[in-house]
Structure 1
Amino acid sequence: MPAPDEQSDVESFERPEASFARTLERLKREGCSVLVCGTVAAEIRAKMTRQLFGSTEMYRRRILGHTGTTALDPDAYLPAEPPSDRHAVVVSRAGPVRASDTSGVVDVARAVSEYHPSGGSGGSLDELDALGTALAGAVDEVADRDHLSPGVLRVGVTSLEPYLDADGVEEVVRFVRTVAAPVHEDGGMLHVHVPLSHDDARVRALLPYFDARIDLRVHEPLPPECRWYLPAIDEQTTWMRL
């Protein structure tokens, strides 16, 4: 099975079953949430996020929730093109929101909202609430300004594992609902990284609150691979090169 280009959109994944294809297309039109799991390096997760955000050749509005749990800069999760072409907003736990051209022409450096962390290394309930509120606010403002069509909005969160450890599944579910509601309303796609195995008890507890799951793996010396799973129809793709 040929590998999709790194900056291809989700459309490029081969989907052998018609029911899988129909369900995924419907989710893309109506808005959806995707749980990304797998015990792989942060660089591989960043590559998955870049793929889900899509190339700058596609009309997209991108919002990244950067939890600061790895050494990777937010830029690692965004398309490689110059910031002026990305149409991206970054909400970071390391400081206030920064924007890298949210409009293309007007308000190039405008921040959509502010996120003030409570301090520490991550995982506090105050931080999780603040991050969820800031992301939901960013979605609302981008949608109000740009009048988004279905499939245009892409929102990603780099890792929620520290919050799972500190606050538990219930609080993470509350965060997901807070962010997913406006994303779904505007026909967007939210993806959230939880770098745990797909059969981890916490991943299984979270899955009912997502429309799809992406599993990531590395079997050396082979390149990283991914597969999609749709719980509503209990179908998944074969493993594909990332």
Structure 2
Amino acid sequence: MVAGGGMGPDDEGISFAHALATLKEQGSALLVVGTVPDEMFAKASATMLGDPAADPPRRRLVVTPEPNRESAVRRLRETGPLSSEYARLITRGEQARSAAAGGASLDEVTPRTHVIDGSIHELGTTIADVIEEFDLFAGGLDPAEFRMGFECLPTLLSAHGRETAFRFLHVVVAQARAVSGLVHFRLPRDVDAEVVRLFQPLFDATVELRIDGGSLDQRWHFRDRDITSDWLPVGDPT
């Protein structure tokens, strides 16, 4: 996450930096929008999963469709330890099951993978179980210690519709907020799309991504504050 800079007037920059600091201190849920390539989203997602040098390390969960599994593993590898008390992956499909089984004894190379073949209820239960396990490992999670990147929202919308997806996100966001987690959900649509406006009330901020001259930029829209940042380069993790 980028904290400050490039905002124009000093008071606006200070307000933006303070808003970001508050999200980190209290935990937050972010909706990441914009139609950028998967590899560009992965770059932004990695900054939100946290600094690999953080002490203690962030406890990170990525929920991803099977085609994006390799990208998710790279992101977890780049942002901290891969042992099961610090990194988990949730995905679905038989290919994912085989890969998970093959890497089960190589915890330092492949994160523990939870394969979901069933219902949306199973997905929600698995996320809740991982959060609970991380909390137990930590002896109580500190604010922003738990990080999650969730990339399955388009799949949920396609398979279950808006109403069910909305209810599901409401529950998952509440679970993450209960441990003051810092979590982000990808919805690759324009910021003014109807479906984005539908989901925005569930989130503390909307992070808009774009590519400008080969550079990946972000713009933050805060739900409860009258603050929208300038376009800023995607920067260092936190």
Deviation at 1:108, TM superposition (A): 6.7
Between the aligned partners of 1:28 and 1:82, the Cα distance in structure 2 is 18
Count the aligned residue pairs.
218
Q: Work out whether residues 55 and 79 of structure 1, in 8 Å CA contact, stay in contact via their aligned partners in 2.
A: no
Tell me the equivalent position of 1:44: 40
Between the aligned partners of 1:89 and 1:49, the Cα distance in structure 2 is 15
Tell me the equivalent position of 1:116: 116
Q: Percent same amino acid at aligned positions? A: 28
Tell me the equivalent position of 1:144: 136
Q: CA RMSD in A?
A: 3.1
Q: Work out whether residues 61 and 147 of structure 2, in 8 Å CA contact, stay in contact via their aligned partners in 1.
A: yes
Q: Per the alignment, do residues 12 and 138 of structure 1 end up closer, same or farther by CA in structure 2, a change over 3 Å counting? A: same
Between the aligned partners of 1:12 and 1:24, the Cα distance in structure 2 is 6
Tell me the equivalent position of 1:203: 196
Match of 1:62 among 57, 60, 63: 60
* TM-score normalised over the length of structure 2: 0.79
Tell me the equivalent position of 1:129: 121
- Structure 1 residues not aligned, in runs of 5+: 1-9, 100-106, 119-125
Counterpart check, 1:182 vs 2:175 = yes
Deviation at 1:234, TM superposition (A): 2.9
Q: Render the CA deviation track for 1:51-82: whole Å, top value 9, x for unaligned.
A: 10122101311111112354754224324268
Tell me which of the two structures has the higher relative contact order, counting C-alpha pairs closer than 8 angstroms and 6 or more residues apart: 2
Deviation at 1:191, TM superposition (A): 0.4
Match of 1:213 among 170, 187, 206: 206
Counterpart check, 1:74 vs 2:65 = no
Between the aligned partners of 1:11 and 1:188, the Cα distance in structure 2 is 18
Between the aligned partners of 2:36 and 2:111, the Cα distance in structure 1 is 32
Q: Render the CA deviation track for 1:209-233: whole Å, top value 9, x for unaligned.
A: 10011101113x3312111110211
Counterpart check, 1:14 vs 2:5 = yes
Moved more, 108-117 or 57-66: 108-117
* TM-score normalised over the length of structure 1: 0.78
